Amino acid sequence: MDSNSQFLESVRSLGRKILVYGFILLLLILNVTALPSPFSGNVKLPLVLTALYYWAVYRPTLVPVGGAFILGLLMDLLGGFPLGLNALIFTVVHWLATSQRRFLTAQSFFIVWLGFMVVHGGALIFQIFIFGIGRSHFPPLSLVGIQWIAGVTLFPLLCILLHLTHRLLPSGSGHSRPKV
């Protein structure tokens, strides 16, 4: 392979990664906007959490733990969360997903989805606990339930989009493709 071909391949690889990071940034922007709910409050979809979980399982080098922390800080700053809350949650989720990566990549999508259900539920409970203590008021359980159900329901659709961006990336050793 000559140097011109190597350069073009490097540019293509960089372009693909920019597309993936651009998609994550779009999810971050969408994530800080809340959807109105008929149950007195707003529903915040776990779009970035879903993407972080996906990449931590299937391509952990793409969004390393430092990237998860920075994404969390951005989410805190843009979404009006207590500074460090999502940074901590995203760091823990990244650690959990990467520590179970070998198990999860050998399983069907349903098991990966179940893992997300647990992770999303834990993240919601932690957020609600911190907000409840800070404000001396806890949100209604109906709103929490709607947020959890919305996140769990949205997970397969978002995974399809993430899988499509995953297919754009060059394959390499140590990277897993989702079982569809």
Of 41 and 89, which is predicted with more confidence?
Answer: 89
- The per-residue pLDDT for 4 is 80
pLDDT value at 143 more than 60: yes
| Residue whose C-alpha is closest to residue 46's, from 153, 131, 162 | 153
Bridge partners of 42, per DSSP, are 36
Q: Give the pair of three-digit tokens for residue 87.
A: 């940074």
Contact 71, 90 (CB under 8 A): yes
Q: What is the residue extent of each domain of the chain?
A: 9-168
DSSP readout, 65-133?
HHHHHHHHHHHHHHHTPPTTHHHHHHHHHHHHHHHTHHHHHTS-HHHHHHHHHHHHHHHHHHHHHHHHH
Q: Give the pair of three-digit tokens for residue 141.
A: 């359980």
- The per-residue pLDDT for 141 is 83
Neighbours of 20 (CB within 10 A): 19
* pTM to 2 decimal places: 0.86
How far, rounded to the nearest angstrom, does the alpha carbon of residue 72 sit from its chain's CA centroid? 10
How far, rounded to the nearest angstrom, does the alpha carbon of residue 35 sit from its chain's CA centroid? 18
Mean pLDDT of 6-13: 82
Mean pLDDT of 130-151: 86
How far, rounded to the nearest angstrom, does the alpha carbon of residue 159 sit from its chain's CA centroid? 10
